[in-house]
Amino acid sequence: MKQTLKIIKQAKEEGRKALLEPEAKLICIEYGIPVTKFKVAANEKEAAEYADEIGYPVVLKIVSPEIIHKSDAGAVMINLQNASDVSEAYRKILENVKKYNANARIVGVLVQEMAPQSTETIVGAIKDPQFGQTIMFGLGGIFVELLKDVSFRIAPITADDAKEMITQLKAYPLLKGFRNSPPADIDALVSILLNTSRLVMDNPEIKELDLNPVLAYQKGAKAVDARIILE
């Protein structure tokens, strides 16, 4: 897990507690957690080039150590259909970020594959002062925020634990397939939970990890956002 150690070491040296989304996603990749394809552009021209490479539609997001909640800063633009959309979004994001926090350092703009809409789930980890690394799973949006419909297990977890974390949710019928929502790939979610457990057990300096959202498909699941906070 060479890349992970390197990324964490560099953040520490720079005095950063929050890893940047591309850093967190590289760590996810090293631990077998599927994420949206991405590249970090240093300028508008590069953003359009990378979008062409990745294929449309794409999503653009700010990469800044000062911007942790990117949509709050107007720094996420989704569903960009062509190079001119990308150029426009690039400029708009920089403008929004400047207004939101004039001191925010800009590392670049993340160009990424736009994942098709599907059921949004949340995979998290938090280091509990008493129990140590703890894994969390829930469904996105109102299920977590309003209904607190989430499950927790102390890491390391087994495949059976991971499966239980999913099936014990009140909203589980939604994942099993309900009315117009097709059944989600439960094994893919189990695999993400297991890999997340492995990731935080290997790296005790991780205080918080958030994959929000993880889109669950009939086949596979993918994290479109990743946040890692160090101690």
Residue 10 interface partner, choices Mg ion, ligand ADP, none, CB cut-off 5-8 Å depending on type: none
- According to the binding rule CB under 6 A, does residue 71 interact with ligand ADP? yes
- According to the binding rule CB under 5 A, does residue 225 interact with Mg ion? yes
- According to the binding rule CB under 6 A, does residue 76 interact with ligand ADP? yes
CB of 68 to ligand ADP, least distance (A): 7
Of residues 28 through 47, those in contact with ligand ADP by CB under 6 A are 36
CB of 81 to ligand ADP, least distance (A): 14
CB of 132 to ligand ADP, least distance (A): 26
Residue 122 interface partner, choices Mg ion, ligand ADP, none, CB cut-off 5-8 Å depending on type: none
37 is written with which tokens? 């394809």
- According to the binding rule CB under 6 A, does residue 25 interact with ligand ADP? no
Residue 69 interface partner, choices ligand ADP, Mg ion, none, CB cut-off 5-8 Å depending on type: ligand ADP
Neighbours of 29 (CB within 10 A): 15
Stretch 161-200: interaction string toward ligand ADP, x if CB under 6 A: ----------------------------------------
- According to the binding rule CB under 6 A, does residue 59 interact with ligand ADP? yes
Neighbours of 230 (CB within 10 A): 15
- Residue 29 or 68: the one with the smaller Cβ distance to Mg ion is 68
Q: Of 97, 112, 90, 100, which Cα lies nearest the Cα of 45?
A: 90
- According to the binding rule CB under 6 A, does residue 81 interact with ligand ADP? no
Looking from the CA of 189 toward its CB, the CA atoms found within 13 Å total 32
Site stretch for Mg ion (CB under 5 A), options 45-53, 158-166, 173-181, 211-219: 211-219
In this structure, are residues 153 and 134 in contact, taking their beta carbons and an 8 Å threshold? yes
- According to the binding rule CB under 6 A, does residue 123 interact with ligand ADP? no
- According to the binding rule CB under 5 A, does residue 85 interact with Mg ion? no
- According to the binding rule CB under 5 A, does residue 21 interact with Mg ion? no
- According to the binding rule CB under 6 A, does residue 61 interact with ligand ADP? yes
**Residues engaged in binding Mg ion (CB under 5 A):** 212, 225
